[in-house]
Amino acid sequence: MPIAAPLAADRSWDPPTTPGARTRVAVAGATGYAGQELVRLLARHPAVTLTAAMSSGASSAPRPLPALARIWDGTVAALDVERLSTDADVVFLALPEAAAAEVGVALLQRDVRVIDLSGAFRIRNDADRQRWYPATAALPDGVVYGLSELHAHLIRGARLVSCPGCYPTGALLSLQPLAAAGLLEGTVVVDAKSGISGAGKTPSERTHFCENHGSVAAYGIFSHRHTAEIEQELQTTVTFIPHLVPLDRGILETIYVSLRIGTTEAHVSEALQRAYADAPFVRLTGGTLPEIKHVAHTNFCDIGWKVDEATRRLVVVAVLDNLLKGAAGQAVQNLNILLGLDERSGLL
């Protein structure tokens, strides 16, 4: 089960090297859930200066972020690509996909590095990308799929880091080391539950309090765009079933796979331990299965598992905070890799 290689990176860019200099960063889409988390993290980051925070529209009225008072007391301005390109060395995009596709390319043309939280640049196959992200006609040069723990060597030279989706982050961190070790066989089933913030800030009937409180609902079966992303990286068929649960944040994924003949629990443990021996934000819990409350408001992904050797069945349970490890936290982790910093900077 081979792993698809990320796109080649452009290694011509280096971060500022003047002693004491801070890298200038900006956020476009700062009023959404992930965008506000980005502002909170970057405002306190020891190696960067947050020079601008902008909304998702060019006509938006300036507004503060009251929840971040005394952390960041700036004002969210209207979206302005020219200002982003002059005021920042690295720009985070927490925009809707169509806007990210346009703004991301415009910034690359102005030699600005981009870290994108949308799905606009995740899919490499043209036909699949046109189905799920039609605003992205073609991928620009230097795009790297930004799964921090597994693609750091490419992220360091990326022009544009395309951060994985929240659901794929948990699934791929759980499965890619096992696939690389040749331990998996057959179809993968990912049964995932997400808090409501994963649906974004724009309200809908599905995210209405009265529709969600006291209920759990499956959605997007055989039609969720994250399926293409997971299948791209694993290069195998995946049955992905997302569910909406009445929590504000957090994801729990229960993953069911079959193991190749002769695979033992020790093989599974060894593959995961080897992959994440030096990973500061992946915590392996073995047979003690993790829970959402263990990772809420952190950048950790906790992974536990159970193996039935007699039937060659493996169940993996992964949990993460969809707004941090599944979005803003992983984006800042990728910034740290891009700048050659300790991955934990600004996150622990």
Q: How far is CA 133 from CA 7, 97, 99, 127, 228, in A?
A: 18, 7, 11, 10, 11
Task: State which amino acid sits at residue 305.
Answer: W
Task: State which amino acid sits at residue 103.
Answer: V
What distance in Å separates the CA atoms of residue 184 and residue 263, rounded to the nearest whole number? 9
Q: Which of 163, 166, 210, 301 is catalytic?
A: 166
> Is the distance from CB of 220 to CB of 228 less than 8 angstroms?
no
Region for residue 212 given its phi and psi (left: phi exceeds 0; alpha: psi -120 to 50; beta: otherwise): alpha
Name every residue whose Cβ is closer than 8 Å to that of residue 307 and which is 6 or more positions away in sequence. 259, 264, 265, 268, 313, 314
Strands 301-308 and 282-286: parallel
Please compute Rg for the chain using Cα positions: 20
Name every residue whose Cβ is closer than 8 Å to that of residue 115 and which is 6 or more positions away in sequence. 90, 91, 92, 93, 146, 160, 161, 163, 331, 334, 335, 338
What distance in Å separates the CA atoms of residue 26 and residue 165, rounded to the nearest whole number? 21
> Is position 301 annotated as part of the catalytic site?
no
Q: How far is CA 308 from CA 56, 144, 222, 236, 305, in A?
A: 48, 36, 28, 22, 10
> Is the distance from CB of 259 to CB of 314 less than 8 angstroms?
yes
- The catalytic residues are 166
